[in-house]
Structure formats: C-alpha cells, structure tokens
Amino acid sequence: MLNAVLRDDQDHFPVVLSQASECVQLVFGVDVKEVDPREHSYVLVSTLGLTCDAMLGDGQSMPTNGHLVMLLGVILLEGECATEEKMWEALSVMGVYPGREHCIYGEPRELITNVWVREGHVEYRQVPNSDPPRYELLWGPRDHAETSKLQVLEHLLRVNTRNLSSFLSLSEEVLSDEEEGA
C-alpha cells in the first residue's frame, strides 16, 4: 500500500489506514487489526465476532457482516423490534433498497428475509392483526449467542459519531439489560 498508493506521502500512512479501516468496517463488517507492529502486518477479523454464511445464488460468498451489524443496530434502536418500513428507511442511507440489486449485498430483501432468517440471524414475522400484512424484524438466536446489545451499540457509536444524542438515551437501557443478563 505504501509503494502503490502513497509513494511520496508515506508519512500519511497512519491516517490513510485509519480512514480506510473505518470504511472497511462499515461496508464489509470487518476490523483491521495490526498483528506485528515491526513488520506492519495486519489481519481482517469479523466485526463483533459475528459469523455470517450468506451466499449468493451462484454459490459465491459475499461480505455481508457490515450490513448485518447495521440491521442489528436498527432493531436495537427501535426497541428490539423494527418494522420492515423502519429497516428500509435506515438501510437506504447505505444505498440499500428493497428489490434493487446492491453491488455488495446482492438483493437485500432475499438476504434479510430468507438467507439471514434461515441462518438464525434475524426473526422475520408478521405483525399480529395487520391488514394488509406488515412485518417486523428481531434479533435471531444466532446473534444473541454471538454478540451483545452493548457491542452493537458501541459499534454504532464508532460508525455514527455525528448523532451521539440519539444513542445516549438508549445506552443506559442497554447497560442495565446487559447487567441483568450477566
């Protein structure tokens, strides 16, 4: 990276790596961790310890952890149960829309309502007595086992430091939930 990208500006490497790492974390759901400071070697690790097995229809894997973490955050911020409408509203900020193929995530409705439901990442259920039918999403058993509300909240705070006030009221609730569950 130093020779190919920065050439004459190698002293800017720490800033460039930091900003690139933030983007990789948000989009792909992986953290860049330094393994050996002397050799400047790094490894990519899954954000929040989540395992995501999502596959495209042709059997190719796709980097979906970033999308999953954002969805879990939306569910958390909506009181642990998000309507489908709220989910799409939040994901549209990332350029993710229902029925529109995304260059990274593929067809998002298929990914969320079929693949992640099958893998146990989310629960997708009809809102009782809704006519016409409306749907809501909750954390699935796999995410309850692999991460915590506090970890997702911390991730959201890192990604979205511009809107701290919207997270402050929730942080107290999440902390008390975590303490009760411990």
**Phi, psi angles (nearest 5°) of residue 135:** -125, 155
Mean pLDDT of the 168-175 span: 52
- Tokens, residue 13: 């490497």
Task: Give the integer Cα–Cα distance in Å for 49 and 65.
Answer: 10
First to last CA, the chain: 43
d(CA 180, CA 76): 17
- Per-residue pLDDT band for 59 (boundaries 50, 70, 90) equals very low
Which residues partner with 135 through β-bridges?
126
Query: Taking 70 as the threshold, does the pLDDT of residue 6 lie above it?
Result: no
Structure tokens belonging to residue 75: 């569910």
**pLDDT band at residue 141, thresholds of 50, 70 and 90?**
very high
Please check the confidence at residue 27 and state whether its pLDDT lies above 70: no
Tokens (6 digits) for 23: 């983007």
Question: Which of 53-62, 67-76, 97-106 shows the lowest mean pLDDT across its residues?
Answer: 53-62
Instruction: Return the closest-CA partner of residue 68 out of 46, 44, 101, 83.
Output: 46
Share of the chain above pLDDT 70, in %: 70
Query: What 3-state class would DSSP assign to 14?
Result: helix
Residue 57 has pLDDT above 90, yes or no: no
Least confident of 38-42, 74-78, 132-136: 38-42
| Average pLDDT taken over every residue of the chain | 77
HSE (side-chain half, CA atoms, 13 Å) at 36: 3
**Each residue of 75-104: pLDDT tens digit?**
998 999 999 999 999 888 878 888 888 777
